[in-house]
Amino acid sequence: MINKDVWDKNRGGRKTRSAIGVFLTGLCASLAALALLAVLGYVIYQGARAVNPAFLTQLPKPVGETGGGVANGIVGSLITVALATLIATPLGVLTGIFLALFGRGMVAESVRFLSDVLSGIPSIAIGLFAYTLLVAPFKHFSGVSASVAFAVLMLPLIIRTSEEAVRSVPQTIREGALALGMSVYRSTMQVIVPAARPAIITGLLLSIARVAGETAPLLFTAFGSPFWTVNPTQPMAQLPLQIFNYAISPYEDWHRQAWGGAMILILAVLVLNITARFVFAAPKNRQ
């Protein structure tokens, strides 16, 4: 017969306290997950009323008139982000290759350190940098200055993911290429980097998602516009700016449109993220 007192499973209420502990931590985790669903859900709920073909294809209407759309913002944002990707990709991928294959010692460590630290610099400070570099000297706003700010924001992520991608190509592939007497250029760009391509693309998608929703730098680089803007050397309409301006305005109709724009933006960003993580890369094994 078991002596219940000696083998008391709940001695001192420990089992209860443990159960409460697990429940509490689980509650917090659920709360965090629910927060996302709450925000996403409400944005879709409000935004769905605003998004329709007209919304997606028309220009904004002047103050006081209802209706209109965010077509110029969508196009403008696509252009600035595309330009930024063009700038940041070769720079970031090559730096990642440098860190994975050619850099040694303190030099490589410093580059890595700078990249990590840069990833935490507020986007508004980087926007100011782009302003001093490309807006002030030319005395007008431009899409290019926004793209430069975006590119600087994208670089740390591209560098880190490219480095990891190249590092994870098996050493035996690298040795196989070198043992053939392949030149450094060919062994790197025709064997190793192609093998790392899926992971590099994942990193690119994630960094695009990162900047697609950025608003702060746009305030004084692209500046925004109510017209069709496709010339990057001039101010350009940007979707996040339109959302921001509509949201802080006093007009009900503009609030409605802000929700519509927000829905487009959040869905685009989430789709990019999910595509990056599931289509191109198996979920990383977190230790």
Partner 1 sequence: MRRRADSARRSDAFFLFCVYAAAAFFVVIVAALFVMLTKGSWLSLQTFGLKFLWTSEWNPVNNTFGALPLIFGTVVSSLIAIVLAGLVGILAATFLADFAPRWMARPLSFTIELLAAVPSVVYGLWGLFVLAPLIRSYIGPALQKTLGFLPLFQGPIYGVGLLTAGIILAIMILPTVTAISRDVIAAIPEDQREAGMSLGATKWETIRSVVLPAARTGIFGALILALGRAVGETIAVTMVIGNRPVISASLFAPSYTLASVIANEFTEATSDLYLSALIELGLLLFVVSFLINAMARLMMWTVFRDK
Partner 2 sequence: MTTSAPSRKATSFRVDDLAAFYGSRQAIGGVTMDFAPHAVTALMGPSGCGKTTLLRCLNRIHEILPKARVEGKVSLDGEDVYDSGISAIELRRRVGMVFQRANPFPTMSIAGNVTAGLLSDVPNSARAQIVEKALRGAALWDEVKDKLNQPGTSLSGGQQQRLCIARALAVEPEVLLMDEPTSSLDPISTASVEDLMESLAKEYTIVVVTHNMQQAARVSNYSAFMLSGEDGIGHLIEMSETRQMFTKPTDPRTEDYITGRFG
Query: Which residues neighbour 270 within 8 Å (Cβ) at sequence distance 6 or greater?
Result: 40
Cβ distance to partner 1 smaller for residue 132 or 233:
132
Cβ distance to partner 2 smaller for residue 165 or 272:
165
Query: Residue 236 — φ and ψ, nearest 5°?
Result: -135, 145
* 214: region left, alpha or beta (phi > 0 left; psi from -120 to 50 alpha): beta
Distance CA 200, CA 223 (A): 31
Q: Which does 180 bind (CB under 5 to 8 A by kind): partner 2, partner 1, none?
A: partner 2
* Least gap, CB of 128 to partner 1 (angstroms): 4
* Least gap, CB of 123 to partner 2 (angstroms): 36
Q: Which does 178 bind (CB under 5 to 8 A by kind): partner 2, partner 1, none?
A: partner 2
Amino acid at the residue 210: R
Q: Which does 172 bind (CB under 5 to 8 A by kind): partner 2, partner 1, none?
A: partner 2
Residue 78 in tokens: 């696509």
Cβ distance to partner 1 smaller for residue 42 or 228:
42
Helix pair angle (239-247, 71-97), 10° resolution: 130
Q: Which does 157 bind (CB under 5 to 8 A by kind): partner 1, partner 2, none?
A: none
**Residue 125 three-state SS:** helix
Query: Which residues neighbour 94 within 8 Å (Cβ) at sequence distance 6 or greater?
Result: none
Cβ distance to partner 1 smaller for residue 180 or 270:
270
CA distances from 216 to 7, 87, 268, 286 (A): 62, 20, 19, 32
Cβ distance to partner 2 smaller for residue 174 or 277:
174
* Least gap, CB of 279 to partner 2 (angstroms): 18
* Least gap, CB of 186 to partner 1 (angstroms): 9
Q: Which does 95 bind (CB under 5 to 8 A by kind): partner 1, partner 2, none?
A: partner 1
* Residues that bind partner 2 in the complex, under the rule CB under 8 A: 104, 170, 172-184, 186, 190-191, 194-195, 197
Q: Which does 170 bind (CB under 5 to 8 A by kind): partner 1, partner 2, none?
A: partner 2
Cβ distance to partner 2 smaller for residue 75 or 178:
178
* Least gap, CB of 247 to partner 2 (angstroms): 47
* Least gap, CB of 190 to partner 2 (angstroms): 8
Distance CA 193, CA 162 (A): 9
Count, residues in the chain:
287
Give me the torsion for CA of 206, 211, 212, 215, rounded to 10°: 150
